Structure 1
Amino acid sequence: MKGEVLDGTALVMADDDTVATALEDLDEGDRLADADPPVTVAEEVPFGHKVALADIAAGEPVRKYGEVVGEASEPIARGEWVHTHNCESTRGRGDRAAAADITGSPGEDR
């Protein structure tokens, strides 16, 4: 299998990932000792969902499987559950593409 399994309970696919995917339900207080640095789970994280491996500031990208999968909509602390309540998807966002077309990219002469 590609990636690294942390303590048999969470999967990280790339070195720059900021989240791991829970391979089973994680409970508050569970420890991912194999993470660098180790992570204590701050709240329940359901199977298949994401847990933060690092603090993520509001507006920063969320990286999973070596790809940006979203943007933090509020600050996320290491060990917290990462889902729709604190992360907004950036994939398939036609509204963002349309806004970029209207405003132009930074540094573009208009």
Structure 2
Amino acid sequence: MTSSRPDFLAHRTGDAVAVAVRDLVPGPVRGGYLDDGDAAEELSLHHDVPLGHKLALRDIGAGEDVIEYGVRTAVASADIARGDYVHTHNVRSARWHNSVA
């Protein structure tokens, strides 16, 4: 990644979400991965994302696992598009999610 300050950081390459490192507004944003300092990611953000909250790095379908830290941390409760704000309105914690109906 270049020396410019990132807008967001993902913990591991392959994570579906990243964390905003400052308050973000819709438009182009840049970030990277903590496990690969040379990997950069750019996307168009669709919503405001507050500092410390998450944004989608890829499309995530309803019912699909949300991967962060390289592990399943949540399940999408609605379709989530790359660049969307990811929070309680569109995910449920994997800890309490019953994947068997």
**The two structures share one fold, judged by TM-score above 0.5:** yes
Higher helix share: 1
What SS class does the counterpart of residue 56 from structure 1 fall into? Answer: coil
**Mapping of 1:1-110 within 5 angstroms?**
8-32=6-30, 34-35=40-41, 38-91=42-95, 93=96, 96=98
Count of aligned residue pairs for this structure pair: 90
For structure 2, the 5+ residue unaligned runs are: 32-39
State the match for 2:37 in structure 1: none
> Could you report, residue by residue, the CA deviation over 1:52-100 in whole angstroms, capped at 9, with x for unpaired residues?
0000000001111212110000100000000000001112x2x73xx96
Gaps of 5+ in 1: 1-5, 104-110
Partner Cα separation in structure 2 for residue 9 and residue 47 of structure 1: 9
Structure number with greater CO (CA < 8 Å, separation at least 6) is: 2
Give the structure-2-normalised TM-score. 0.79
TM-score by length of 1: 0.73
Indicate the SS of the match to 1:11.
strand
Between the aligned partners of 1:65 and 1:46, the Cα distance in structure 2 is 20
- Please, what is the CA RMSD of the aligned residues? 2.2
What's the offset of the Cα at 1:30? Answer: 3.2
> Whose radius of gyration is greater, 1 or 2?
1
Structure whose residues are more often strand by fraction: 2
Identical positions, percent: 40
